[in-house]
Amino acid sequence: MKAILAKRVETGTAHTDELRDLTRAAGYDVAGELTQSREEDAALQFGEGKVAELVETVTATDAELVVFDNQLGPYQTYNLGQRLPEGTRVIDRFRLILEIFGQRAQTRKAQLQVELAELRYELPRVEAKTSLAKRDERPGFMGLGEYDESHEQDIKDQISRIKDELDAIADKEADRRQKRRESGFDLVALAGYTNAGKSTLLQQVAEELEIGANDDLHPDLDPTAESEDRLFTTLGTTTRKAAIDRRDVLVTDTVGFISDLPHWLVESFKSTLDAVYYADLVLLVVDVSEPIDEIREKLVTCHDTLYERNQAPIVTVLNKIDAVSDEELEEKRKALSALAPNPVAISGRGGTNINELKRRIDIELPDWQFERLVMPMTDETMSVVSWVHDHGRVEDVTYTDDEVVVEFEARPSIVQQSRAKASDLTAVPSA
């Protein structure tokens, strides 16, 4: 299906790169683009003359879809539809994003999040239809459709139901994260804008280890992650094991950010972002080949989103250094130093500096704690020794007739659990 792109800005030049990528990601062919710099027309978004030009472009290209980068109100969508050739669909970028999400949603969680976002998108439009129809006492006022107050309430009820189900899924995922930590895993999350190269980086960092078929502790782990050059390839999360020095690390790739997302859309995918919010370390991946101003704007948006709830350290990863010169890379390092202090510059596609990134991950993750555990020799002692081997790095085990001494390093939470297990053993009478 052919699509025409449309974008209006208050001042300056209207850029359509991201809208073009989004449209193609949804499966449409871009047949033309129209932009305008002026104040918004309340009835048509574009001015009258530009709308006439839009009609001509649609007619000349036989396009069936017009995609506005600007958010369209019910009036504007209806009025534009009346001007355009019969059968031409008119949508804005948010409806386009929801279409893409709907196409990529494979899991129950992703499908629920898309449904929630669609309902939140639709609710104000239904409220507008109801309000306008009531005011003018004409059902279907301005072609907005029959109004029904019960439909508005149905949407609100569906939103409440979906939120409850997503909350239940989030609780299960929180339990899973806790089990992973108790098993000695550090949790690392990849964040950043779509097409920054997160999936490619995941393959590089975790390429040496695959997920075992009998890993019943982590049933959702995926040994592969797509790295296609298209938006929203990873709508949900993909988690893989990675070897970082002597640590056991789980790295999760999440859905990419995009520009100018409304609050209701970000909120709908909050549970997916929990993988970032509750990680031990966040790698914020940036496409360093983009213009400095664009990178800076994206970093600011990411920081606003992450720092609102995230407590983990954030390391900025300047990706795609193979696409810039050394001079350009250094220039961008200096220009972005306030937002990205001490970044790691890599090429995910070429594998450049991946070992340096792994060393940085090891440094930034929480320090492991040394422990010397002295346990009485009981029937249960060896199971505790085995548990310590599974959850930490054992340096030495000494056996005597009466006791076992285990020297090891582990996450602080694992050390605490080992002490509790040892304490339980001391309460058992000797044979």
198 is in an annotated binding site: yes
What number is the average pLDDT over the span 375-379? 90
pLDDT of residue 412: 83
Reported as a single tens digit per residue, the pLDDT across 173-226 is: 888 877 777 777 888 999 888 788 888 898 888 854 443 333 433 333 343 444
**pLDDT at residue 431, rounded to an integer:** 44
Residue 320, annotated as binding a ligand: yes
More confident call, 404 vs 425:
404
Which CATH superfamily does the domain covering 2-101 fall into?
Answer: GTPase HflX, N-terminal domain (3.40.50.11060)
Query: What integer pLDDT is reported at residue 225 of this predicted model?
Result: 43
Q: Hey, what's the torsion of the CAs at 268, 271, 272, 277, to 10 degrees?
A: 120
pLDDT of residue 209: 43
**% residues pLDDT > 90 (the chain):** 44
Asked whether residue 305 is marked as a ligand-binding residue, the answer is: no
Whole-model pTM: value is 0.68
| pLDDT attached to residue 262 | 66
The C-alpha atoms of residue 266 and residue 44 are separated, in whole angstroms, by 27
Residue ranges per domain, the chain?
A: 2-101, 105-171, 183-364, 369-426
Name residue 317's beta-bridge partners.
285, 344
pLDDT at 131: 67
Measured distance between the N- and C-terminal CA atoms of the chain, rounded to whole angstroms: 79
Distance CA 178, CA 293 (A): 39
What is the three-state SS of the chain? CEEEEEEEECCCCCCCHHHHHHHHHCCCEEEEEEEEECCCECCCECCHHHHHHHHHHHHHHCCCEEEECCCCCHHHHHHHHHHCCCCCEEEEHHHHHHHHHHHHCCCHHHHHHHHHHHHHHHHHHHHHHHHHHHHHCCCCHHHCCCCCHHHHHHHHHHHHHHHHHHHHHHHHHHHHHHHHHHCCEEEEEEEEECCCCHHHHHHHHHCCCCCCCCCCCCCCCCCCCCCCCCCCCCCCCEEEEEEECCEEEEEEECCCECCCCCHHHHHHCHHHHHHHHCCCEEEEEEECCCCHHHHHHHHHHHHHHHHCCCCCCEEEEEECHHHCCHHHHHHHHHHCCCCCCCCEECECCCCECHHHHHHHHHHHCCCCEEEEEEEECCCCHHHHHHHHHHHCEEEEEEECCCEEEEEEEECHHHHHHHHHHHHHHHCCCCC
Q: Highest mean pLDDT: which of 41-50, 137-146, 185-194, 380-389?
A: 41-50
Is 256 annotated to bind a ligand? Reply is: yes
Q: Would the annotation count 321 as a binding residue? A: yes
Which architecture does CATH list for 369-426? Answer: 2-Layer Sandwich (3.30)
Q: Do domains 2-101 and 369-426 have the same CATH topology?
A: no
252 assigned to a ligand binding site: no
Query: Which fold would CATH assign to domain 183-364?
Result: Rossmann fold (3.40.50)
Q: Is 193 annotated as a binding residue?
A: yes
Q: Are 226 and 195 in contact (CB under 8 A)?
A: no
Structure confidence at residue 289 (pLDDT): 95
Residue 255 marked in a binding site: yes
150 belongs to an annotated ligand binding site: no
Residue 146 pLDDT more than 90?
A: no
Q: What is the pLDDT of residue 175?
A: 83
Q: Does the annotation list 374 as a binding residue? A: no
100 annotated as a binding-site residue: no
Sign of CA dihedral 146, 123, 94, 76: positive
Residue 148 pLDDT = 57
Residue 347 is assigned to a ligand binding site: yes
Instruction: Please tell me whether 349 is known to bind a ligand.
Output: yes
Which range is least confidently modeled, 2-6, 123-127, 142-146, 386-390?
142-146
The mean per-residue pLDDT over the stretch 131-140 comes to: 56
Query: What integer is the mean pLDDT of 353-363?
Result: 93
Q: Look at residue 366 in the predicted model and tell me its pLDDT.
A: 81
Q: Is 121 annotated as a binding residue?
A: no
Q: For the chain, give the percent of residues with pLDDT over 70.
A: 82
Q: Per residue in 403-413, pLDDT tens?
A: 999 999 888 87
Check whether 158 has a pLDDT greater than 80.
yes
- Mean pLDDT in residue range 343-363: 93
Residue pLDDT, tens place only, 228-259: 444 444 456 778 888 787 778 889 887 677 76
Residues 176 and 182: their CA atoms lie apart, in Å, by 10
pLDDT at position 63? 97
Q: Which residue has the higher pLDDT, 271 or 424?
A: 424
pLDDT averaged over every residue in the chain: 83
**More confident position, 70 or 128:** 70
Q: How confident is the model at residue 23 (pLDDT cuts 50, 70, 90)?
A: very high
- 29 labeled binding residue: no
Query: Per-residue pLDDT tens for 268-289?
Result: 666 667 777 788 899 999 999 9
Strand ranges of the sheet holding 238-244, from the earlier edge strand across to the other edge: 238-244, 247-253, 185-192, 281-287, 314-319, 344-345
Query: Among all chains, which residue has been given the structure tokens 């790698």?
Result: 283
79 is in an annotated binding site: no
Q: What residues have CB less than 8 Å from 68, skipping those under 6 apart?
A: 6, 7, 8, 45, 90, 91, 92, 93
| 430 CB-near residues (< 8 Å, 6+ apart) | 376, 377, 378, 402
